[in-house]
């Protein structure tokens, strides 16, 4: 029996639950053209002098950066499947958020809201103009920042973002994070294409940049986005302020940590090709492929590498014509492919959404709010009126005393664990260390998830007659999950 006094230290641990470290990352692809004045050292062979961090921190940054140059880039995986690849005339969206293994990811709900003229919104690093009205959103996000890794809004728009690197260096200057852009688009757009337009307009006006990790040393990247609604999907890939977008009207699509848009470009930055020609990346004669021109390596080399992007596409192809929410959850739980990531970067949160093309039927959005989907429960959320805060998956708020808000930033890390995370952390340790007991816990978790998915199928098929029954849907499922843990 778990009690409120139980802690991870009470059980023999294996990584990632027993692995703590000060994670220090620069540019995972080893970009030799980093233009970051706030990194822990200058990236040139003639000088390794500290810039803003202490010499000790700079030393370990250097060692860690060298180690990362020998590693495969770490990022997330986002998927979408549309009819005729899915069953039941539904769009299926899914994402794993791969982040530092000691980072807490929370699931939060914000209702729709009206604002007065001239109001501002404070994002992770910068303040921008607020719009007159924001839509209700449910978000899965690293607990230290304002934006989100993934989420949905009341109009059934879903967005996930990915870290990407290329020839253009990632900017360390504080601007909008890709995760800020995810939330802003969900709050301001009622369709996938409008969400894309929101992102590129904000990108042009405010730029993207800043440390993407709660750490004194910097981790910067550009962003790609997979955006969908009930009817279509868009892939948006950015490099600085330049971008290209591809429309997806049927079939399936996935994105990972490299550029994937080639010659099918349905929207683009007006100077995207001209800029590439000025930089000498494209001669203007061969067919323009965004991935080949803006990447370090060609699409052919990416394909040959057999990484998570290719594995994700293979898994989607395997179930083509029969893709369901179960299928997507199985893909997100797949460890052999690397999609369910373990180690210093691991899958810290997962999301699957089911969007019927029939406008009269609700969308159902499943979130884990805990690491490793293989050892987590996907819990359903449906947009209805009067949803209350999701307290059990909401992390503590530190207000103006938060180390993220103070400059210099990230001088320490407060405890951001939410109630579900705390209990799940203990249970995950038991699953790792006690075979029979761990199997019983996992079985109970699977039974809970299966029952909830069966319940949701009724709403997805016949609609919602009494919305008051769904006001506490997600929170009640979290309570049921906690009861499973308490009986462990």
Give the catalytic positions in this structure: 76
The secondary element (H helix, E strand) that includes residue 294 is: helix 290-294
Cα separation, 43 vs 172, whole angstroms: 13
DSSP string spanning 80-106?
A: EEETTSBSSSEEEEEEEEEEETT--EE
- 152 φ, ψ (degrees, to nearest 5): -145, 160
DSSP string spanning 424-457?
A: HHHHHHHHHH-HHHHHHHHHHHHHHHHHHHHHHH
Residues 6+ apart with CB under 8 A from 299: 260, 262, 289, 291, 292
- 251 φ, ψ (degrees, to nearest 5): 85, -140
How many Å separate Cα 320 from the centre of its chain? 24
Cα separation, 268 vs 271, whole angstroms: 8
439, 20 in Cβ contact below 8 A? Answer: no
Beta strand ranges found along 170-270 (DSSP E): 222-228, 233-239, 242-248, 251-255, 267-268
Beta bridge partners of 82: 251
Cα separation, 243 vs 246, whole angstroms: 10
Cα separation, 297 vs 294, whole angstroms: 9
Residues 6+ apart with CB under 8 A from 392: 418, 419, 420, 475, 478, 479, 482
165, 31 in Cβ contact below 8 A? Answer: yes
């Amino acid at each position: 029996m778990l009690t409120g006094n139980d802690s991870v230290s009470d059980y023999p641990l294996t990584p990632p639950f027993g692995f703590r470290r000060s994670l220090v990352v620069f540019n995972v692809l080893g970009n030799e053209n980093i233009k970051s004045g706030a990194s822990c050292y200058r990236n040139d062979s003639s000088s390794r002098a500290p810039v803003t961090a202490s010499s000790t921190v700079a030393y370990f940054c250097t060692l860690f950066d060298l180690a990362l140059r020998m590693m495969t880039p770490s990022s997330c995986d986002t998927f979408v499947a549309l009819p005729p690849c899915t069953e039941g005339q539904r769009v299926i969206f899914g994402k794993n958020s791969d982040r530092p293994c000691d980072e807490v990811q929370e699931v939060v709900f914000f209702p729709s809201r009206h604002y007065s003229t001239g109001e501002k919104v404070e994002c992770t690093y910068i303040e921008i103009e607020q719009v007159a009205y924001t839509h209700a959103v449910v978000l899965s996000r690293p607990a230290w920042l304002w934006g989100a890794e993934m989420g949905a809004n009341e109009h059934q728009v879903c967005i996930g973002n990915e870290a990407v690197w290329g020839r253009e260096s990632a900017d360390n200057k504080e601007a909008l994070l890709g995760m800020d852009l995810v939330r802003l688009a969900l709050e301001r757009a009622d369709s996938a294409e409008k969400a894309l337009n929101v992102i590129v307009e904000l990108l042009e006006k405010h730029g993207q940049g800043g440390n993407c990790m709660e750490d004194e040393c910097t981790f910067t990247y550009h962003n790609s986005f997979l955006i969908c609604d009930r009817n279509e999907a868009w892939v948006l890939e950015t490099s600085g302020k330049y971008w290209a977008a591809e429309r997806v009207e049927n079939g399936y699509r996935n994105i990972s940590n490299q550029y994937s848009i080639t010659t099918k470009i349905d929207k683009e930055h007006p100077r995207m090709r001209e800029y590439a020609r000025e930089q000498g990346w494209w001669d203007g004669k061969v067919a323009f492929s965004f991935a080949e021109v803006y990447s370090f390596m060609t699409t052919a080399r990416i394909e040959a590498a057999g990484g998570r992007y290719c594995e994700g596409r293979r898994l989607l192809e395997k179930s083509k014509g029969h893709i369901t929410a179960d299928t997507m959850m199985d893909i997100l739980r797949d460890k052999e492919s690397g999609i369910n990531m373990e180690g210093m970067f691991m899958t810290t949160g997962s999301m699957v959404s089911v969007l019927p093309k029939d406008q009269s039927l609700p969308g159902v959005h499943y979130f884990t709010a805990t690491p490793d989907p293989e050892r987590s429960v996907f819990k359903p959320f449906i947009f209805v009126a009067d949803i209350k805060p999701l307290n059990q998956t909401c992390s503590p708020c530190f207000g103006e005393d938060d180390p993220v808000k103070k400059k210099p930033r990230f001088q320490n890390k407060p405890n951001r664990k939410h109630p579900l995370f705390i209990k799940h952390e203990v249970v995950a340790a038991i699953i790792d260390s006690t075979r029979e007991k761990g199997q019983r816990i996992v079985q109970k978790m699977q039974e809970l998830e299966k029952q909830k998915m069966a319940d949701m199928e009724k709403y997805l098929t016949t609609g919602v007659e009494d919305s008051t029954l769904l006001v506490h849907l997600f929170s009640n499922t979290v309570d049921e999950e906690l009861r499973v843990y308490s009986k462990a």
